[in-house]
A and B are shown apart, each in its own frame.
Chain A
Amino acid sequence: MKADPKGVMAGAFFIDGDHACAEGAIAAGCRFVAGYPITPSTEVVERIAERFPLIGGMFIQMEDEIASSIAIQGAVWGGKKAMTVTSGPGFSLMMEHIGLAAMTETPCVFVDVQRGGPSTGLPTLPGQGDMMQARWGSHGDYGIIALCPNSPQESFDLTIKAFNLAEQYRIPVLLMLDECVGHMTERVVVPPAEEIEITPRRYWEGPKEGFLLFKAAPDRVPPMVKAGDGFNVHVTGLTHDERGYPVMTAPAQEKLVRRLVDKIRLNSEAIIEYREDQTAGADIVIVSYGITSRVAIPAIEQARREGAKVGHLRLITAWPFPAKRIRELSGHVSCFVVPEINYGQMVREVERCVAGRTRVERVSHGGGSVHNPKDIYAKIMSCGKEERR
């Protein structure tokens, strides 16, 4: 399906990553946004608040992030595509409702423009410390998708992708920006509506009789309906059967939660996206995401000029993680270097996949700025030396 031209502001613009995210949401068909102001994410909702009244959208500034993160779910069951936007402290408040969306299979988008943490931390400065929270932040087991743009253009593109994946898999999708990507201004091209591919909601088209809201298709994703269509649906965060009725037993739990995990795990090949640069034959591979993937480039280029065989793998989906690809690379790579603006989060995934076969080095940074590329360069060169020894 193509985008609704009404919302799409086609053209080339100089806008920041937050504004690009807002435009991406509009292009994706999002017409309900609930949020609570928090730096460095507020520009997203400010843009939405300005744009929505004239394109038939509903923006509401809720009383807090807990309210925002469930108002969007009400809106989804009311038939809208919906998103909420926040940063660290608000993201922490939203965790229970990420779990609710996962459990009730409510397609929606959560945007986290990461800043330095923990707690109030560094409100105006970058961090990448919410990556594990994105994966595991809500209690219990569930599959999740998290995307990491590294430019305003990608913020636009991946916001659309986030909405599409949410509909495809009936799941909350997390868009993990960081303060730098959110606030950097670059050229963003918004294509005309007819060039934007939109995944429509998977509405049930069969007969009402015998319809089951949680009976999955072969890809493990059940069909959607909306309130008011006469299905008398029941939607609960309790463990439930295919009708949506609560069932408090271990077998019901196994059946439902296994599917919630499998629907991402078994579809992960189709979901996972990353970019590779000169990884074939590389001795050292940098694994990076978000703003750090750009900061790493001068370090990689410098090392290459000095003869090091350095590849670069940039995560676009942090979750699900490209485990298979990292395992393959670990066959010939002698060292992975993982720079992140945290004390070691995604690097744990690299370590898990490598399982001791090769070295994994972290380049940690507590937040407040991006890395100095020299630190990444120094780590690359030190890996190289060890290897030559």
Chain B
Amino acid sequence: MTEESMDIDMSMPTNTVEEFLRMERMPHIWCPGCGIGTTVNCFAHALETSGLDLKKVSIVSGIGCTGRVAGYLKLDSFHTTHGRALPFATGLKLANPDLKVVVYSGDGDLTAIGGNHFIHAARRNVDMTVILINNFIYGMTGGQVAPTTPIGATASTTPYGNFEEPFNLPYLAESCGAVYVARWTAYHVRHATKAIKDALRKRGFSFVEILAPCPTLYSRRNRLGDGLDQMKFYRDNSEVKNDADTKTVGLSFQGKVIVGKFVDKDKPTYLDSMNAFYAQKFGDKYSPYKG
């Protein structure tokens, strides 16, 4: 994909995102150089150009540094419990299918404590967009190992280095049933913005992983410099490979990062399937569930 082919005008002044934020809550809690704020900027731009009725957009987070995202967005926003954003979002979406439901949370939140919910939400193909900020670490609690920490990286609970195999998240999402899967980094703001916008427009379980620096805990402990150094690393070591086989996009410690849109397919959503199934079963007696 060339930059020209993208329909996002990045020349607009960045403060246009202010109308999407709860400015009265600024300053935010994130550290200088943290990548989470960059991704929120991408998200706000994606919303701005998505054409969505913002009244109907709800954002749901779990707990963590990324979990604080919900609280800064001027949307109906739900900051739930650690790991449980997805089942909350499932209830919200199924209660009112007119809502566009976005889950925005951390790697630990969505794939460690929330891993079971992740695989089931993807399997059911509940219509929602999941934005996962992967900083390879538990930020909020002080830099403990996560299911995404690369082998060899250290964390506060793996002081000698991590030896557990990490998740390859795009592969996990695809195998569980996600209809849209992309990975970008906080360096790739235009691509990430476009991916979020595509994901928001997709019907079904769409998943965007964004790698983001956590300079305070992950970079410092692993002697990777500050947030800027990590951004440079992403610039120099990312390879765009759209449609790459997700099996091949696993990450290693400071190794090559495959980014791109890996999956984009159509499949009936949970509610499509339910309505079609019951319509066949009950005939005229059944009126399609609309919430």
List residues of chain A with CB under 8 Å of any chain B CB: 32, 34, 53-54, 56, 58, 60, 62-64, 66-68, 70-80, 82, 96-97, 100, 226-238, 245-246
Residue of A74, A230, A234, A237 near B90 (CB, 8 A) is A74
Question: A357 CA to B79 CA in the complex, in Å?
Answer: 48
Question: Smallest CB-CB separation from B75: which chain A residue?
Answer: A232
Q: Indicate whether A75 sits within 8 Å of B95 (C-beta atoms), given known contacts A67-B120, A237-B79.
A: yes
Contact A236 B91 (CB under 8 A): no
Contact B96 A226 (CB under 8 A): yes
Can you list 23 contacts pairing A with B, beta carbon distance less than 8 Å? A32-B95, A53-B286, A53-B289, A56-B287, A63-B87, A63-B120, A66-B87, A67-B87, A67-B90, A67-B116, A72-B91, A74-B60, A75-B95, A78-B96, A100-B81, A227-B96, A228-B96, A228-B98, A232-B74, A232-B76, A234-B78, A238-B79, A246-B79
Residues of chain B within 8 A (CB-CB) of A34 are: 87, 91
Contact A74 B89 (CB under 8 A): yes
Question: A64 CA to B93 CA in the complex, in Å?
Answer: 18
Contact B87 A75 (CB under 8 A): no
CB-CB contacts of B159-203 with A at 8 A, as 1s and 0s? Answer: 000000000000000000000000000000000000000000000
Question: A67 CA to B90 CA in the complex, in Å?
Answer: 9
Question: Smallest CB-CB separation from A100: which chain B residue?
Answer: B81
Contact B88 A71 (CB under 8 A): yes
Tell me how far the C-beta of B247 lies from the nearest C-beta in chain A, rounded to whole angstroms: 25
Residues of chain A within 8 A (CB-CB) of B98 are: 228
Count of A-B residue pairs with CB < 8 Å: 138
Contact B95 A56 (CB under 8 A): no
Residue of A32, A56, A74 near B88 (CB, 8 A) is A74
Contact B87 A53 (CB under 8 A): no
Q: Indicate whether A234 sits within 8 Å of B89 (C-beta atoms), given known contacts A53-B278, A246-B71.
A: no
Residues of chain B within 8 A (CB-CB) of A82 are: 91, 95
Q: Which of A60, A64, A68, A227 has the most CB of B within 10 A?
A: A227
Question: Smallest CB-CB separation from A232: which chain B residue?
Answer: B74
Residues of chain B within 8 A (CB-CB) of A74 are: 60, 78, 87-93, 95
Residues of chain A within 8 A (CB-CB) of B216 are: none
Residues of chain A within 8 A (CB-CB) of B93 are: 74, 78
Residues of chain A within 8 A (CB-CB) of B224 are: none
Question: A10 CA to B100 CA in the complex, in Å?
Answer: 37
Question: A67 CA to B282 CA in the complex, in Å?
Answer: 29
Report if B231 contacts A (CB, 8 A).
no
Question: A66 CA to B70 CA in the complex, in Å?
Answer: 21
List residues of chain B with CB under 8 Å of any chain A CB: 22, 25, 55-56, 58, 60, 70-71, 74-81, 84, 86-96, 98-99, 116-117, 120, 278, 282, 285-287, 289, 291
Tell me how far the C-beta of B177 lies from the nearest C-beta in chain A, rounded to whole angstroms: 14
Question: Smallest CB-CB separation from A226: which chain B residue?
Answer: B96
Q: Which of B81, B282, B286, B289 has the most CB of A within 10 A?
A: B81
The 5 nearest A-B residue pairs measured at CB: A78-B95, A74-B91, A71-B91, A74-B92, A67-B87
Question: Smallest CB-CB separation from B281: which chain A residue?
Answer: A53
Question: A236 CA to B70 CA in the complex, in Å?
Answer: 9
Q: Indicate whether A227 sits within 8 Å of B71 (C-beta atoms), given known contacts A63-B117, A77-B78, A78-B291.
A: no
Question: A155 CA to B103 CA in the complex, in Å?
Answer: 37
Contact B91 A78 (CB under 8 A): yes
Contact A234 B81 (CB under 8 A): no
Tell me how far the C-beta of B290 lies from the nearest C-beta in chain A, rounded to whole angstroms: 8
Question: A338 CA to B96 CA in the complex, in Å?
Answer: 46
Contact B285 A54 (CB under 8 A): yes
Contact B95 A80 (CB under 8 A): yes
Q: Indicate whether A228 sits within 8 Å of B278 (C-beta atoms), given known contacts A60-B94, A71-B87, A245-B25.
A: no
Contact B91 A73 (CB under 8 A): yes
Question: Smallest CB-CB separation from B275: which chain A residue?
Answer: A53
Tell me how far the C-beta of B110 lies from the nearest C-beta in chain A, rounded to whole angstroms: 13
Residues of chain A within 8 A (CB-CB) of B286 are: 53-54
Contact A54 B116 (CB under 8 A): no
Tell me how far the C-beta of B35 lies from the nearest C-beta in chain A, rounded to whole angstroms: 22
Q: Which of B55, B76, B79 has the most CB of A within 10 A?
A: B76
Question: Smallest CB-CB separation from A108: which chain B residue?
Answer: B91
Residues of chain A within 8 A (CB-CB) of B116 are: 63-64, 67
Residues of chain B within 8 A (CB-CB) of A64 are: 116
Additional A-B contact list (9), CB under 8 Å, known A227-B76, A228-B99? A58-B94, A62-B120, A63-B120, A68-B87, A74-B89, A76-B95, A80-B95, A96-B81, A235-B79
Question: A66 CA to B86 CA in the complex, in Å?
Answer: 11
Question: A53 CA to B84 CA in the complex, in Å?
Answer: 26
Contact B90 A71 (CB under 8 A): yes
Question: A195 CA to B22 CA in the complex, in Å?
Answer: 46
Residues of chain A within 8 A (CB-CB) of B79 are: 234-238, 246
Contact A70 B96 (CB under 8 A): no
